[in-house]
Chains A and B, each alone.
Chain A
């Protein structure tokens, strides 16, 4: 472990060479920008830059591509907070509290906490990547279909805290999301499901299309137009454009828990950053002192998912660097980049290409610092977007949304799909169907289905194997605790209605 820091120091030195610094800067800015465009996330960013980057010298190319990846995670939060439109899939949870904060006129502090969370998440993710990459990679592969199933059941049980006011409607929403997750080719049998004869639904529905429609377009529909001199938005105050250090520090618990959850969920093959943000948001809300503030503009509700998605992007790279296998769509494209510059990613990469790997790690540290500086400087300018009148803001945003969605697959079908989800989202909003269970179902459902079906193929349909894995048993126990504890605590609270039941002597029923 100590040698890791020595190697990292050399890496940092190598990465501060001007050509690499330039690559980091270009990559960060492009990533920030593409991440902020609705519908386009890190995968699109890396894919767009790849053909250009392979023209650079090898190390600079990968430093730039890496910078696009984590830069996009910073950028995704910007549109989520300011416009209520997730810039990419993993920024969806940030919309929930971030946009409420912006509507209350606290766009600056909300952007500030997202920057702080991105930085802390990035730093924790990086430190873990630097120190324990190989160890963590070995632990992560212990997660097979059985353990994945257990983790998904745990995560879906979190819906009980994310449900909203009406549990029945939360149920409809959750199952609706699960259904959307089944659209496309069945991952096990290969038969198309619910594709309605369209080749465009063959590969399923891209999550960011749903998220943009459900959150962004629906919110816009529901906003009343305003006459020229009145505004239903918060009054413009300069102080509210700046990040707020005190409020940021208050969220330290969520920053750390979000970073750790993000990292460890991100490492697992087949899980991903979006799942990590959902789990960390639910976790933060579940253990918050005042969970009722979540969804109404809680700083913690921005801190947890933003820390998680940045941390997850480094977790994601661990299987690539340590085992030579891509852990996600984005790292698969990054690996394509490694191949195209002539580096063979593989389990020996750390040994055979030590200088390269450590220079890249060094560039990640530098890139994160650069992004904090860039985004803090941009915050006051960006935050003013929250004060632009809808008459001018909405046309511009709507056009960017249309173009952004189109460029995911160069297809108008996806644009129509987003428009459709906008109407669905509006109806859900008016009838009080919570949207969060739906996105949870759509992201986690497919992972659950794969886990269960892969396990049962292997065990010839024997369900007993789920209870033979120690990791799965621990997760199942946690799930049971998550469901039973609130019920039990409620009962206790009713018996002893004091603030600190453990300090108050039991009065008796």
Chain B
């Protein structure tokens, strides 16, 4: 794996993010007390280009460069495969390397639980969480179901989930448990397929990211029933949370950043500072939070670490019920 580093430096010139490159040329403020960072930072994305965690990584890199927060470049690199296992194993192998960043996605928790990745969240250093994405339970606008109570009374409903082991799938099972319903869970391969099946009348319900659901709600094709965030969403102020309806369905996807294990405490503190500045900046608000309808948030390393333990436990309990966790 060590030889990969050579490829990385070559990639420095090739990645071609012209915007990033030019901005950073003038970013040498040299105000840092220590000499960290002395070279370019590699940000490993474990999913493909254009997906949620990729967009997060590229937007984050862009905002950091625009604000000239660090004197070096952040190079985003996609290492896909193995439901995240390839990328996370790669980051793990960079132990003690404070020039490798990684993003936390759902597979960060679920793939280790499937028993196919020998490492888990404990093998990484949490840096910070910089946004949060709740899930919205929605039906087609033509559906007779208007509230959660209608949902509980209805029979023979089908919910589509993007993926068999994913946030929507896990939420669907939690929902059945909490509401005492018997909704059938039908896994699909992606959010797009699920929405198409809802619009075509082949499914009744779905859990989706605000990013995917809000446009359909605005267009009047989908109707939101409830959200999984602890508080109501500003963009859907009239939609209740499960919590206020009295159901313990609280689950949001944390957009967090990690490093390999064994990095010095100063490095963690350095990145906490950078990421806090980003999370609270108007640029981040405009280019990420508003554009993708996410919820602004900042958690420091310790808080994010605690959230990781909690999140993993939640996945583990549902996946055990389903007989998936090993």
Contacts and interface: CB of A to CB of B under 8 A. Distances in A.
Nearest to A414: B81
Nearest to A52: B16
Contact of A325 (B48, B86, B192): B192
Listed residue (A48, A145, A346, A450) with the most chain B CB atoms within 10 angstroms of its CB: A346
Contact of A450 (B80, B114, B189): B189
A325 B164 CA distance: 19
Interface string B180-207: 0000111111111101110111100000
A457 B185 contact: yes
B18 A52 contact: yes
A200 B50 contact: no
Contact of B216 (A54, A146, A324): A324
Contacts of A197: 116
B25 to A, nearest CB: 15
Nearest to B202: A144
A344 B290 CA distance: 11
Nearest to B200: A141
A202 B324 CA distance: 15
Interface residues of B, number: 59
Interface stretch (A74-82, A187-195, A433-441): A187-195
A448 to B, nearest CB: 14
A457 B160 CA distance: 11
A55 B20 CA distance: 9
B82 A202 contact: yes
B85 interface: yes
A411 interface: yes
Contacts of B165: 185, 190
Contacts of A335: 50
Nearest to A197: B116
A50 B196 contact: no
B189 A336 contact: no
Interface in A299-322: 319
A411 B197 CA distance: 35
Interface string A310-350: 00000000010001111100011111110110101111100
A51 B16 contact: yes
Contact of A348 (B211, B215, B322): B215
A339 B81 contact: no
B215 A345 contact: yes
A323 B220 CA distance: 12
Given A202-B81, A202-B85, A336-B49, A51 B58 contact: yes
A197 B81 CA distance: 14
B56 to A, nearest CB: 11
A273 to B, nearest CB: 16
B216 A187 contact: no
Contact of B187 (A54, A187, A195, A323): A187
Interface in A410-434: 410-411
A347 B216 contact: yes
A363 B106 CA distance: 37
A203 interface: yes
Given A323-B196, A325-B191, A333 B48 contact: yes
A331 B48 CA distance: 13
Contacts of B49: 46-48, 50-51, 333, 336
Nearest to B195: A325
Give the most central of B81, B188, B200, B291: most A CB within 10 Å.
B81
A270 B187 CA distance: 13
B54 A336 contact: yes
A188 B55 CA distance: 27
B79 interface: yes
B221 interface: yes
B218 interface: yes
B239 interface: no
Nearest to A346: B215
A286 interface: no
Given A51-B15, A51-B17, A347 B221 contact: yes
B291 to A, nearest CB: 6
A141 B322 CA distance: 30
A450 B191 CA distance: 15
A144 B219 contact: no
Contact of A144 (B76, B200, B221): B200
A344 B256 CA distance: 24
Contact of A55 (B17, B85, B158, B164): B17
B19 interface: yes
B216 A332 contact: no
The 5 A-B residue pairs with the shortest CB-CB distance in the complex, in nearest-first order: A336-B50, A346-B215, A144-B202, A141-B200, A199-B82
5 contacts: A190-B165, A326-B190, A335-B50, A336-B54, A457-B186
